[in-house]
Amino acid sequence: MRPSNTVEVLYHDHHHWLTGWLRRKLGCPQSAADLAQDTFIRVLTARETPTLIEPRAFLTTIAKRVLFNHYRRQDLERAYLDALAQMPEFAAPSEEERAIILQTLMELDQLLDGLPVLVKRAFLLAQLDGLTYGQIAAELGISIATVKRHLNKAAMRCYFAL
Amino acid sequence: MNPTANFSTQVAEQAVQWLMQMQQGPLNPRQQANWQHWLDAHSEHQRAWEHIQRVNQRLRGMPSPLAHAALNAPQSSSRRQALKLLLILGAGSAATWGLRQQHLIPPLTADYRSPLGQRRKVQLADGSQLQLNTASAVDVQFDGPQRLIRLLEGEILLRANTPLQIITSQGIVTTQAAQVNVRQFNDHTQVAVLDGQVQMSPKSYNGLPLTLEKSHLANLTRKGWDMPRPTDANTGAWADGMLVASHMRLADFLEELSRYRRGQLQCDPQVANLLISGSYPLDDSERILDLLQISLPVKVRRFTRYWVSVEARV
């Protein structure tokens, strides 16, 4: 059986069940349907579809990841909108820019995922605020050597996902 | 498209090392040569470097308070719950960057360069004195009788002892013994003569050059120049570390000031046309901002130390 057929069968047999599972987690039918869709898209774009002995366990594994990202995006978007509301109107980005900025931030957040907070902050201070190592060290209360180590780590992640 | 998968760890490490070295300050000529050598050594090096530039291009212009807030977003309880679920299962994979911007930043190579917020004095081989204002770069070529200074970016003040030529994006400035201030803007060059006289020739123009006399300044474009007018107290004042304003619009004043400091300095259109006068020491821009609140009906808001807006006081 070809992989596409496997996904088709998977979708046909378990889509309804998965949507129900997600609805119980989310309490929102609309989001549950969207995330079920996202889950199957992930299955489709996965490099290899394993031979499925336990299709529902496989699907929930992926759905949990989708669910986590969903919450993460919600948190990020909320913090983004809060910060946006505090900016003076004349300096705030335009409507079109806002969507691009939010998208970029979400990608950046995923790339830097798992790095310590200070590593992320050092990276933003260097890349967006244009600070020198000395200024970052003073801002974060760490040594210049640590700043360098943090920036190196963040750069490897951000540029090369390493 | 997943560009990150195309680079070996070794090449990625090298590219990041070069990036960090450049962020620390201008490369000296030997480092420049080494960097160029590395870049030319392999097409993968070039691709890795271009990839970094593209990502940076995307990050550039992002309002930093938004990024700081969003990436430090507190976790909601539902996300903590989801994270627990996920940790049991092992880590997720990182997303990849979509590449939209094609514009690349030219490499930072120059004979002399001054970092942002700093000024630099250079003694040239013929005894002429060259000063570089904040974030400026020049190439100097002295081959026998040919004496060229190429202004790559920023602003210079030249005390020339011998005939010299200054090349900018828009044209050529020729001096005998003279003191001249040349500033490269995006689309034009501003030339101000403090002593002696200079000739200016636009790049795409074959007629006679304009002779600019002492205490006059003019703007040069590729096709011509505007009407010369007298210099003011601010002309070349940066060389003494001062910003001299005489009925300057606040928006223009803040734009000038922001050349010397890191981060973003925003001006509320409501106060953009307020006029400001006085002499301000460039080395302490924070203090200048504080003083603004005393002399004008404005309020300075610091979202972060490096993202500041000047607004109407209500």
Q: Which of A87-101, B100-114, B232-246 has the lowest mean pLDDT?
A: B100-114
Helix extents (H) in A27-54 = 29-45
B135 residue type, one letter: A
Model confidence pLDDT, tens digit, residues B121-153: 999 888 899 999 998 999 888 877 788 999 999
- Across the interface, whether the CB atoms of A129 and B78 are under 8 A apart is answered no
Instruction: Choose between B85 and A90: higher pLDDT.
Output: A90
The tokens for B60 are: 């550039």
Q: Does A113 touch chain B (CB under 8 A)?
A: yes
Q: According to the CATH classification, is domain A112-162 in 2.170.270?
A: no
CB < 8 Å to B92, chain A: 65, 68-69, 113
Q: Does A86 touch chain B (CB under 8 A)?
A: yes
- In the predicted model, is pLDDT for residue A51 greater than 70? no
- In the predicted model, is pLDDT for residue B179 greater than 90? yes
CA distance A103 to chain B (A): 10
The tokens for B307 are: 């993202």
- In the predicted model, is pLDDT for residue B96 greater than 60? no
Work out how many CB contacts closer than 8 A connect A with B. Answer: 177
- In the predicted model, is pLDDT for residue A1 greater than 60? no
pLDDT at residue number B2: 40
User: How does residue B80 score in pLDDT terms, banded at 50, 70 and 90?
Assistant: low
ipTM: 0.77
Q: Does B186 touch chain A (CB under 8 A)?
A: no
Q: Does B62 touch chain A (CB under 8 A)?
A: yes
pTM beyond 0.95: the answer is no
Model confidence pLDDT, tens digit, residues B151-170: 999 999 999 988 999 999 99
pLDDT at residue number A114: 83
B205 residue type, one letter: Y
CB < 8 Å to B304, chain A: 129
Rounded Cα–Cα distance for residues B142 and B144 (Å): 6
Mean pLDDT of the region B35-61:
89
CB < 8 Å to A125, chain B: 306
- In the predicted model, is pLDDT for residue B93 greater than 80? no
Residue percentage of chain B with pLDDT more than 90: 57
- Across the interface, whether the CB atoms of A130 and B269 are under 8 A apart is answered no
- In the predicted model, is pLDDT for residue A45 greater than 90? no
- In the predicted model, is pLDDT for residue B97 greater than 70? no
Q: Which residue of A has its CA nearest to B310?
A: A88
Helix (H) or strand (E) holding A18: helix A3-26
pLDDT at residue number B106: 37
- In the predicted model, is pLDDT for residue A85 greater than 90? no
Q: Which of A14-18, A34-38, B58-62 has the lowest mean pLDDT?
A: B58-62
B66 vs A83, A113, A152: nearest CB:
A83
Residues within 8 A of B (CB atoms), A 1-60 only: none
Model confidence pLDDT, tens digit, residues B269-292: 999 999 999 999 998 899 999 999
CA distance B139 to chain A (A): 25
CA distance A126 to chain B (A): 8
User: How does residue B171 score in pLDDT terms, banded at 50, 70 and 90?
Assistant: very high
Provide the β-strand partners of residue B179: B159, B195
- In the predicted model, is pLDDT for residue A72 greater than 80? yes
CB < 8 Å to B116, chain A: 130
Residue of A69, A110, A111, A129 best to disrupt the B interface, most CBs of B under 10 A: A129
- In the predicted model, is pLDDT for residue B28 greater than 50? yes
Residues within 8 A of B (CB atoms), A 122-161 only: 124-133, 135, 139, 148, 151-152, 155-161
B68 three-state secondary structure = helix
Q: Does B22 touch chain A (CB under 8 A)?
A: no
pLDDT at residue number B274: 96
Cα atoms in the 13 Å half-sphere on the side-chain side of B42? 12
pLDDT at residue number B78: 67
Domains of chain B: 1-63 (no CATH), 112-230 (2.60.120.1440), 241-312 (3.55.50.30)
Q: Does B86 touch chain A (CB under 8 A)?
A: yes
Mean pLDDT of the region B6-25:
89
- In the predicted model, is pLDDT for residue B104 greater than 70? no
CA distance A36 to chain B (A): 16
pLDDT at residue number B32: 86
Model confidence pLDDT, tens digit, residues B189-226: 999 999 999 999 999 888 899 999 999 999 999 999 99
User: How does residue B48 score in pLDDT terms, banded at 50, 70 and 90?
Assistant: very high
A49 three-state secondary structure = coil
Rounded Cα–Cα distance for residues B28 and B23 (Å): 13
Place of tokens 């000739």: B199
Residue span(s) of chain A under CATH 1.10.10 come to 112-162
